[in-house]
Amino acid sequence: MEALGGYPVKSSGPKIRKLTVLLSMTVGVGCLFLLQPRKPVDFYSFEVKDSKGRAVSLEKYRGKASLVVNVASHSEQTGEAYESLQELHKELGTSHFNVLAFPCGQFGDTETGTSSSIEAFAKSTYGVTFPFFGKIKIMGSEAEPAFKFLTDSVQKIPKWNFWKFLVNPEGKVVRFWRADEPMESVRQEVATLVREIIVKKRAEL
């Protein structure tokens, strides 16, 4: 290629093409990154199924304290556990706190029903009013991701029914209790966290 006057000029075509390809690749990778589903970073970032199989976002509980429990209908602790959990749920109310029940059938024959029948049994027999979710697995490769977040956070996997995980308003696990630990300890910890939430909200007004 020659410029006016007959002097040769080096072509910039290949360079421009290279730059265009590189720019296109960069934009393409950026778009793929944006399209990737956001990895949950806390408990409230997860989506789970309710007892009727419908998708539910746990975001609705963000800003509150949650006591997450793997429940069962036919365990030796069932009656006492449901009664004490309902009492706690009623005492501290739903404005700042919820018990969240996740039925699990991985401990023998302690939970054999369907998700909807499990919830119906708990409500009719023990008068529970706290939220129930679909029946899940909490151990192994099929463990429910939301519950796996809890167990990974404390590096402990429940060995029986009615383990309790206390989740703070930001979705982080702050404490857990095994099934045989006294409910009074749970109540004190939860009440303290709820008071902190109330004080913080008042200060923000």
Give residue-wise pLDDT tens across range 147-200: 999 999 999 999 999 999 999 999 999 999 999 999 999 999 999 999 999 999
For residues 102-121, average pLDDT: 97
What gap in Å lies between CA 130 and CA 169, rounded to an integer? 18
For residues 91-117, average pLDDT: 96
Least confident piece of the model among 36-40, 139-143, 163-167, 189-193 = 36-40
CATH class of the 43-204 domain in this structure: alpha beta
29 pLDDT higher than 50 = no
Report residue 93's pLDDT band, with 50, 70 and 90 as the boundaries. Answer: confident
**Alpha helices (H) along the chain:** 13-35, 78-92, 115-126, 145-154, 183-204
Give span(s): CATH 3.40.30.10, the chain. 43-204
Neighbours of 126 (CB within 10 A): 16
Q: What is the pTM of this model?
A: 0.81
CA atoms within 13 A on the CB side of 86: 15
Angle formed by the axes of helices 78-92 and 183-204, nearest 10°: 20
